[in-house]
Amino acid sequence: MEKTIHQGRNVKRFREMLGIKQEALALELGDDWNQRKVSLLEQKEVIEPELLEQVAKVLKVNPDAIKSFDEESVINNI
């Protein structure tokens, strides 16, 4: 059974690791964003590629890192 990567949860993990609040991320993403919209984004299992690119750029991480980050495998490697 292949484990699916929850991209929204990964966005939240990276955001928290970088010490960025949802409000600050929303501000960086543009005028049509607010804290609630970021919260909804972080609940999505799969994020549209264009939006994922935009979020990754704001967080200064590679979009592939968000797509492939798996906390379980990181813990297993430690």
Confidence of residue 76 (pLDDT cuts 50, 70, 90): low
Provide the whole-model pTM: 0.86
Question: Which pLDDT band holds residue 4 (cuts at 50, 70, 90)?
Answer: confident
Whether the per-residue pLDDT at 46 is higher than 80: the answer is yes
- Predicted local distance difference test score (pLDDT) of residue 78: 46
Asked if 25 contacts 15 with a C-beta cutoff of 8 angstroms, the reply is: yes
pLDDT score of 69 = 87
Reading the block at residue 58, the tokens are 């704001």
Q: Look at residue 73 and tell me whether its pLDDT is greater than 60.
A: no
Sign of the CA dihedral running 5, 15, 30, 28: negative
Q: Is pLDDT above 80 for 77? A: no
